[in-house]
Amino acid sequence: MKALARITVLIAIFCASIFVSQTGASEEVTYFRIGTGGIAGTYYPVGGLIAQWISNPPGSRPCDKGGSCGVPGLVSVAQAANGSVANVIAIGKRDLESGFAQSDVIFWAYTGTGVFSKKAKIDTLRIIGSLYAESFHLVVRKGSGIKSVADLRGKRISLDEPGSGTLVDARIILEAYGLSEDDLKPEYVKPDIAVEKIKNNLFDGFFIVAGFPTKSVDDLANTIGAELIPITGTAAESIIDKFGFFSADVIPAGAYNGIGETKTLSVIAQWVVDAELDSELVYQVTKAIWNPRARLLFEKGHPKALKITLDTALDGIAIPLHPGAERYYREIGLLK
Q: How far apart are CA 141 and CA 107, in angstroms?
A: 34
Does the pLDDT of residue 23 top 60, yes or no? no
135-267 CATH choice from 3.40.190.10, 3.40.980.10, 3.30.70.420, 3.30.465.10 = 3.40.190.10
Range scoring the smallest mean pLDDT among 1-5, 223-227, 331-335: 1-5
Q: How far apart are CA 207 and CA 229, in angstroms?
A: 10
Does the pLDDT of residue 53 top 60, yes or no? yes
Does the pLDDT of residue 15 top 80, yes or no? no
Read off the pLDDT of each residue in 151-177 and give the average, rounded to a whole number. Answer: 93
Task: Mark 304-322 as b/e (b = at least 16 C-beta within 10 Å).
Answer: bbeebeeeebeebbbbebb
Range scoring the smallest mean pLDDT among 63-67, 120-124, 198-202, 223-227: 63-67
CB-facing half-sphere around the CA of 189: CA atoms within 13 A: 18
Q: What values do phi and psi take at 256, rounded to 5? A: -135, 145
Range scoring the smallest mean pLDDT among 85-99, 110-124, 170-184: 110-124
Does the pLDDT of residue 153 top 60, yes or no? yes
- For residues 162 and 219, the model is more confident at 219
Reported as a single tens digit per residue, the pLDDT across 285-332 is 999 999 988 777 777 777 888 889 999 999 888 899 999 999 999 999
Q: Dihedral angle at the C-alpha atoms of 37, 43, 46, 51, nearest 10 degrees?
A: -50
Read off the pLDDT of each residue in 260-282 and give the average, rounded to a whole number. Answer: 96
Q: pTM of the full predicted structure?
A: 0.78
Q: What percent of the chain has pLDDT over 70?
A: 92
Average pLDDT, the chain: 89
Residue 250 pLDDT level (bands cut at 50, 70, 90): very high
- The reported pLDDT for the residue numbered 25 is 45
- For residues 166 and 61, the model is more confident at 166
Q: Give the residues across from 134 on adjacent strands.
A: 267
Closest CA to 243 of 113, 86, 100, 133: 113
Residue 117 pLDDT level (bands cut at 50, 70, 90): confident
Read off the pLDDT of each residue in 256-275 and give the average, rounded to a whole number. Answer: 96
Q: Are 272 and 101 in contact (CB under 8 A)?
A: yes
Name the superfamily (CATH) of residues 2-15+28-132+269-331. Answer: Periplasmic binding protein-like II (3.40.190.10)
- The reported pLDDT for the residue numbered 17 is 45
Range scoring the smallest mean pLDDT among 15-24, 174-183, 241-250: 15-24
Residue 12 pLDDT level (bands cut at 50, 70, 90): very low
Residue 3 pLDDT level (bands cut at 50, 70, 90): very low
Residues 6 or more apart whose Cβ sits within 8 Å of residue 207: 136, 137, 138, 139, 157, 158, 159, 160, 166, 167, 169, 170, 173
Q: Are 82 and 161 in contact (CB under 8 A)?
A: yes
Read off the pLDDT of each residue in 172-201 and give the average, rounded to a whole number. Answer: 96
Residues 6 or more apart whose Cβ sits within 8 Å of residue 208: 41, 137, 139, 160, 166, 191, 214, 216, 217
- The reported pLDDT for the residue numbered 159 is 97
Q: Are 286 and 172 in contact (CB under 8 A)?
A: no
Q: How far apart are CA 327 and CA 314, in angstroms?
A: 13
Q: Are 323 and 67 in contact (CB under 8 A)?
A: no
- The reported pLDDT for the residue numbered 27 is 66
Handedness of CA 250, 252, 256, 258 (dihedral sign): positive
CA angle 97, 103, 107 (to 5 degrees): 85
- The reported pLDDT for the residue numbered 90 is 97
- For residues 204 and 117, the model is more confident at 204
Does the pLDDT of residue 16 top 50, yes or no? no
Range scoring the smallest mean pLDDT among 69-73, 81-85, 241-245: 241-245
Q: Is the peptide bond before 162 cis (omega within 30 degrees of 0)?
A: no
Q: Delimit the CATH 3.40.190.10 region(s) of the chain.
A: 2-15+28-132+269-331, 135-267
Residues 6 or more apart whose Cβ sits within 8 Å of residue 33: 9, 76, 77, 78, 79, 96, 97, 98
- The reported pLDDT for the residue numbered 268 is 92
Q: What percent of the chain has pLDDT over 90?
A: 71
